[in-house]
Amino acid sequence: MFHTKGGIWVIRFIHTADLHIDSPFKGLKQVHPVLFESIYHSTFDSFHRIVSVAIESEVDFLLISGDIYDEENQSVKAQAFFRKEMKRLEEVSIPVYLLHGNHDFMGRETETLRIQMPKNVHIFGVEPETKEFISTSNEKVALTGFSYPTRWVRERMIEQYPSRYKEVDFHLGMLHGYMEGSGAREGVYAPFTLEDLLTRQYDYWALGHIHKRAVLHSAPPVIYPGNIQGRNPNEGEGKGAYLVTLQKGMTSKVEYFETAPIIWRERTLDLNGITSLEGLYGSILEAMEEAAEGERDVLLSLQLTQYQGLSSDVITRIEDGDLLEGLNQTEKQPLVYMYRLSLVAQKERLLFKYDEKMQQSFERSRQDFMQEERFKAVLQDLYKHQTIRTKFSKLIEEEAFREEIMQAAENQLMEDIAFEEGEE
C-alpha cells in the first residue's frame, strides 16, 4: 500500500496499546450524567480516531500490543465495538496484529465469551510465535509476539523470542511487559531489559503495558505508546498512538499523535490575599479557563492553598461542595469540568525544613497508609456496622475515596503539627 521510494524498502504502520476499551471510570459516577456518558465513551472514541488515522495514512498494518479490553470478561458491547472498527480496516485491506495482555488475557474460561474477529485480525497465541506479512510492494515483515494466558505472567518471555530473521526486510517485536528498573507502577509481568530487546536486532519494538508513553530507544525504536485515554488523575498527560515509518538501512520516522477526547489536569491555586467568596469565585473561574486544552474536554482537580484569608463560612462552602456545584454550572464546549476542589494545607515545607527525620517518617507513614490493604485494615471496624456495610460496600474499593480520605487526614495533621513562619 505504501510504496518504495527510489528503491528503498519502506513500511508504515500504527503502533498502539492499552486501549482498555469499556473502562468503567468508577470514581466518576457522581458527575453529571451527560458528562459521565462522554467520559464513559472516551476509550471507544479515542480508538475510533486511531483507526481513522490508520485509514487516512494508508498504513500497511496496525499493531496493538495488549490490553485491548479492560477486563478478562469483556462485555459484548466492547467486543462488538472493536469488531466494527476491525471491519473498517478490513474494508480497506489493512491487517491488524494484536496480542492480549494482563487485563484481557486469553483464559480458557473466557473463550466461550469471545466474538469472532474478521479475517484481517491476526491474534498471537500464548507462546511466542512469529507471523509473516508481505506488503503490496513486496516487503517481507516478520512479527513476533505472544498473548497472556493468565493475568500473572512472571516469566521472562523475552527469552523465547528468536533472533532477527535473516530472510525478511523488517523484523518487529511485540511485547506486553515490564522493563526492569523503570520504576513504573504497573505490575512486573513478562519482565525484560532494554539490552534483552536490542540483542535480538529487530527493527522496531512495539511495547505495551506501561500507561505513560516512553521512547526507550531511537535506533531501533523501542516504544511504549502509553494508553489511549487517561482514566484517572495519574494518567494526566496527552494520550494517543504512534505512526511509524521504517526505511531499510535508514533512520526510521516515529510520529506521535493524540486522540484522547478527555484530558485530566491538576492545578494549584494560591489564595493569598483573597478574603471574599466573590474574589475566590473569580480567581477559580480564571484558573479553570487557563486549564482549558484546545478541542478537548478537561477534568480538573484544583487544590487551594494559602486560604488563611477566607472566613470559616466561605471555607464551609468549599468543604460541603456548594462552591464546586456552582462552578460547574456551565455548558460551554469544550468543557472544563471540576471534579474535585480541595483545600491543601501548605505548611509542610515550613515544618520539615527544620527536621529531615520527621519529614522522612511522615512520608513513610503516608505511603504505608496509602496501601490498599492497610487502608482497609484501618477501616475494618467501621465496616462491622450493618448500615455502613450495606450502604457503602463499594466505597472502600474506590481509589478516589481513599485519596480523598488521605488528603483530608493529611490536612488535619498539618493543621495540628505545623506552624507558620515567625511562630515560635
Give the residues lining the site for Mn ion (CB under 5 A): 18, 67
Q: Which is nearer to Mn ion, 18 or 85 (CB)?
A: 18
Q: Which is nearer to Mn ion, 67 or 72 (CB)?
A: 67
Q: Are 106 and 143 in contact (CB under 8 A)?
A: no
Count of CB atoms situated within 10 Å of the CB of 381:
9
Q: Which amino acid is at 372?
A: E
Q: Which is nearer to Mn ion, 235 or 258 (CB)?
A: 235
The least CB distance from residue 63 to Mn ion, in Å, is: 15
Q: Which is nearer to Mn ion, 173 or 177 (CB)?
A: 177
The least CB distance from residue 104 to Mn ion, in Å, is: 9
The least CB distance from residue 26 to Mn ion, in Å, is: 16
Q: How far apart are CA 391 and CA 25, in angstroms?
A: 20
Q: Which is nearer to Mn ion, 124 or 133 (CB)?
A: 124
Q: How far is CA 275 from CA 249, 266, 280, 285, 403, in A?
A: 65, 23, 7, 16, 28
Q: Which is nearer to Mn ion, 186 or 348 (CB)?
A: 186
Q: Which amino acid is at 115?
A: I
Nearest residue to Mn ion, scored by beta-carbon proximity: 67
The least CB distance from residue 255 to Mn ion, in Å, is: 22
Which grid cell is 305? 492553598
In angstroms, how far is CA 362 from the centroid of its own chain? 29
Q: Which is nearer to Mn ion, 27 or 66 (CB)?
A: 66
Count of CB atoms situated within 10 Å of the CB of 66:
30
Q: How far apart are CA 394 and CA 405, in angstroms?
A: 15
Q: How far apart are CA 90 and CA 83, in angstroms?
A: 10
The least CB distance from residue 19 to Mn ion, in Å, is: 8
The least CB distance from residue 181 to Mn ion, in Å, is: 19
Q: Which is nearer to Mn ion, 18 or 169 (CB)?
A: 18
Q: How far is CA 146 from CA 143, 177, 206, 211, 331, in A?
A: 10, 11, 12, 19, 46
The least CB distance from residue 22 to Mn ion, in Å, is: 13
Q: How far apart are CA 369 and CA 391, in angstroms?
A: 24
Which grid cell is 49? 480516531
Q: Are 39 and 28 in contact (CB under 8 A)?
A: yes
Q: Which is nearer to Mn ion, 67 or 85 (CB)?
A: 67
Q: How far is CA 251 from CA 10, 244, 315, in A?
A: 11, 11, 58
The least CB distance from residue 299 to Mn ion, in Å, is: 20
Q: How far apart are CA 318 and CA 323, in angstroms?
A: 5
> What DSSP state is assigned to residue 233?
G
